Amino acid sequence: MNLQNQSLLQTGLFIDNNWLTTGSEFPVLNPATGELITKVSDASEADCYTAVEAASAAFKTWSATTAKERSSVLKKWFNLIIQNTSDLALLLTTEQGKPLAEAKGEIQYGASFIEWNAEECRRTYGEVIPTPAGNKRLLTIKQPIGVVAAITPWNFPVAMITRKIAPAIAAGCTVVLKPAEDTPLSALALAQLAKEAGLPAGVLNVLPTSKSSVIGKILTTHPDIKKLSFTGSTEVGKILMEQCSSTVKRLSLELGGNAPVIIFDDADINVAVEGTLASKYRNAGQTCVCANRIYVQRNIYPLFIEKYQSAVAALKVGNGTDNDVKIGPLINEEGLNKVKRLLFDATEKGAEILLGGKSHFAGELFFEPTIITNCSTEMRLSKEEIFGPVSSVFIFDTEEEVIGMANATEYGLAAYFFSQNINRIWSVAEQLEYGMIGINEGLISHAEAPFGGVKESGFGKEGSFYGIEEYLETKYLCFGNI
């Protein structure tokens, strides 16, 4: 890999600001080519305990620093990430597969959470409460919760990390991070830059590992860890939540989604096509807020599907480092097989393949951008995230009908709809049972806005001023005999 800054390619564990090697390693593969990128040290149970000890020791001093001091270090970290955008993007694309332009966008997006929280940590205000008694004074202060464990996914190996650890560190917490096994290199590069920025030893510790369930069990049950932040499947989230109950940890869970997109007959069709395309095919459909079910009102269906098919057919598939590529590979064989299983189930139950529908010649893990029509609620893909470049299109007649269809899921992360009727916009936005709603827009995530779901998509917010609150305790002080 031709990096300008070779120090960003790290392969050890990052504990107490030291790079450590272990007796065992695991491979990191390029999903576009299947080639070995490098081997990374494989964290053991003992390594995990060491990392927690380092974070616990560092918390004593880091929590006592001023917000201004923490802000200064975070700003330096942000600047270093921006300066190394090209290398970080190449590293990300190589281990994850998304197109280089998308990877650069993720680096900027991920860095924005560090910048935002560098500013927000200076505004974690307490309150003075009007007293009910003349000789008392009541107030609250905000204090960091303690050592935080963060478990992050492979689909956004930079942004999902900074969205968790930037507010934690800004609040005065210390962190033990377990990145996804498929994409540890981005996490280790971020740690290298954090060290260069002056983040003190033990404040951030990174444990790449192939033993996810073993390390996860330690992080969820260790008494010194006071909070867990996890992004991943609902199934795994429930297991972690149960494990965390043994020590009553604070939790932030960003779990599975099943995002509906609704195109009403009063929508701007061109805006709807562009927004749906952006939501569905970003990162080859491998995002938790990707469009999973596309509902089109009957009388505009022919026009929408004509324009949408043309737009999807124009998407270039290939290695993310090649020019003009819009769709990269799926992350691994398991992800590819899931797409094939759900697509087979849909066609067996009456869905028709309008475009694509098979593996792409670019390589083993590539799949053609696909559109299927005549979809119904009996199909598994109406209930499960397909997590791939497949658009499943449904037809509806009335607003009441489509609201019922959109809400008929245990998930509630993100939803999207397109309409130019202001009355309908308010009505539909209030009725959709989702934590985030995109209205005439397919890309909704920003550092300034709260990200999180409802129902079995989890709880807790990331981003905005809500994000740093997740890492703070509110302590009430009562002064008597004044």
| Contact criterion met (CB below 8 Å) for 385 and 258 | yes
Point out the residues that are catalytic: 254, 288
For tokens 């009908």, name the residue.
Answer: 401
Which of 313, 264, 92 is CA-nearest to residue 185?
92
Which of 313, 298, 307 is CA-nearest to residue 357?
313
Which of 141, 132, 225, 211 is CA-nearest to residue 178?
211
Q: How many DSSP H helices and E strands does the chain contain?
A: 14, 22
DSSP string across 115-168: HHHHHHGGG---EEEPPSSTT-EEEEEEEE--EEEEE--SSSTTHHHHHHHHHH
Which of 211, 205, 158 is CA-nearest to residue 181?
211
- The CA–CA distances, whole Å, from 145 to 52, 168, 171, 389, 469 equal 15, 9, 8, 40, 10
Residues across the chain? 482
| Contact criterion met (CB below 8 Å) for 17 and 57 | no
Secondary structure letter of residue 458 according to DSSP: E
Residue 294 to residue 98: CA distance in whole angstroms: 23
Buried b (16+ CB within 10 A) or exposed e, 84-102: bbebbbbbbbbbbbbbbeb
